[in-house]
């Protein structure tokens, strides 16, 4: 009787084992046959869930890299918070841990690590599509996504800035990069390595005509300027920030309007305001709506002719509020067009209507 019961139990256990084995085999087979990349469907979220299961709970990550068929996580060791280990996810399987040697930018783990749960990995597919649409390069494909903290200048140059996605896009003839915030919202696309960037010029009337509305859109419609300089490939301008009304430096080029902490470390107050007694910031502020940027090429040709430098080039166009004559208190918003031909150079000042005010040679 006991022998029969034992055999029955063994038979049941064997059947259960076969079922479990079959389920595992089916799951692995499904993963192995899955042809979706890490940038499609729920692949990135699946990887995040697998890492979480491997580490046994919430993850403090140093970085997460998504490549075509694999994901690589660098995360804090739950048992030893001073250590960071690397894990690799491939086709449903998590490999690791492997010890990681930290560099000087990463050693302050308290400020460098981030909660992986705060990253919207479910947005990966949509972010991929949006980045490719914005880049619009021939044969463009996302080849890598890296999620980590950016550099911070406030803490002795460490990786303690905001968490962001860095997206690498490669095409058949050129490449581009893009960035997104922790939630997977696209922040911008860098096209500086494309043919469009090579042909892009802010000395073109058409480019300048497009620039005004795009800058205003980035500022919510109203741009209060302190200074605007037009170079061949970009516009550099100081404006009152829509967030706090502080004078902030911005750049407009083929990638749109950008700014950075690096360029705003120092005091952006106009030199005229610093040297003047009794002047106020408002005296130096003017509205972008009052400026027709597309006038620049026409003023450039007029300036070259005026200075006898026909065949030369425009060094830059500068728009600001300055006194017409030295020592004069009254300020006028004006264009200052700087020209050069060989060793000769000069500049011509125009009012906002394009009327010549004075020439300097």
The DSSP code sequence of 118-131 is: GS-GGGHHHHHHHH
Identify any residues that bridge with 274 across adjacent strands, giving them in sequence order: none
The C-alpha atoms of residue 286 and residue 227 are separated, in whole angstroms, by 9
Number of domains in the chain: 2
Residues 206 and 98 in one domain: no
Range of the domain at 90: 43-190
pLDDT exceeds 80 at position 191: yes
Identify any residues that bridge with 238 across adjacent strands, giving them in sequence order: 227, 249
Residues 224 and 340 in one domain: yes
Among 156, 190, 224, the domain-final residue is 190
pLDDT tens string 1-41: 456 666 656 566 555 555 445 444 444 455 545 578 999 99
pLDDT tens string 211-249: 999 999 999 999 999 999 999 999 999 999 998 999 999
CA distance readout (Å), 76 to 94, 114, 234, 261? 16, 10, 42, 29
pLDDT of residue 47: 97
> Of 1-5, 103-107, 201-205, 280-284, which has the strongest mean pLDDT?
201-205
pLDDT tens string 99-129: 999 988 888 898 899 999 999 999 999 999 9
Residues 164 and 108 in one domain: yes
Among 159, 190, 221, the domain-final residue is 190
Question: What is the arithmetic mean of pLDDT over 154-179?
Answer: 88
pLDDT exceeds 80 at position 195: yes
pLDDT tens string 59-80: 999 999 999 999 999 999 999 9
Residues 52 and 180 in one domain: yes
pLDDT of residue 274: 72
pLDDT: which is higher, 153 or 101: 101
pLDDT of residue 356: 97
Report the percent of the chain where pLDDT is more than 90: 72
Confidence of residue 305 (pLDDT cuts 50, 70, 90): very high
pLDDT of residue 10: 58
Among 158, 190, 222, the domain-final residue is 190
The pTM is what? 0.74
Asked if residues 112 and 119 have their Cβ atoms less than 8 Å apart, the reply is: no
pLDDT of residue 8: 57
Specify if 311 maps to a domain: yes
């Amino acid at each position: 009787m006991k022998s029969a019961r034992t055999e029955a139990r063994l038979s049941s256990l064997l059947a259960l084992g076969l079922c479990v084995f079959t389920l595992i085999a089916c799951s692995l087979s499904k993963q192995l046959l899955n042809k979706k990349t890490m940038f499609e469907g729920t692949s990135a979220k699946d990887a995040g869930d697998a890492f979480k299961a491997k580490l046994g709970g919430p993850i403090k990550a140093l970085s997460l890299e998504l490549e075509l068929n694999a994901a690589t996580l660098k995360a804090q060791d739950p048992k030893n918070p001073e250590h960071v280990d690397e894990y690799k996810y491939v086709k449903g399987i998590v490999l690791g841990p492997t010890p990681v040697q930290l560099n000087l930018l990463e050693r302050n783990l308290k400020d460098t690590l981030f909660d992986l749960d705060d990253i919207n990995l479910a947005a990966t597919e949509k972010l991929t599509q949006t980045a490719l649409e914005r880049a619009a390069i021939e044969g463009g494909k996302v080849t890598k996504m890296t999620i980590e903290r950016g550099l911070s200048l406030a803490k002795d140059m460490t990786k303690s800035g905001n968490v962001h996605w860095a997206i690498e896009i490669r095409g058949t003839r050129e490449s581009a990069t893009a960035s997104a915030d922790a939630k997977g919202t696209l922040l911008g696309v860098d096209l500086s390595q494309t043919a469009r960037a090579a042909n892009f010029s802010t000395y073109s009337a058409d480019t300048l005509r497009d620039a005004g509305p795009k800058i205003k859109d980035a500022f919510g419609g109203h741009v209060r300027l302190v200074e605007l300089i037009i170079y061949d490939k970009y516009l550099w301008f100081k404006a009152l920030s829509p967030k706090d009304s502080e004078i902030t430096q911005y750049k407009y080029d083929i990638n749109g309007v950008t700014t950075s902490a690096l360029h705003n470390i120092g005091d952006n107050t106009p030199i005229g305001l610093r040297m003047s007694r009794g002047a106020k910031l408002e005296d130096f502020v003017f509205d972008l709506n009052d400026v027709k940027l597309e006038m620049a090429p026409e003023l450039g040709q007029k300036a070259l002719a005026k200075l006898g430098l026909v065949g030369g080039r425009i060094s830059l166009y500068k728009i600001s509020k300055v006194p017409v004559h030295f020592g004069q208190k009254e300020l006028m918003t004006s264009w200052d067009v700087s020209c050069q031909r060989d060793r000769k150079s000069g500049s011509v000042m125009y009012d906002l209507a394009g009327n010549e005010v004075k020439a300097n040679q």
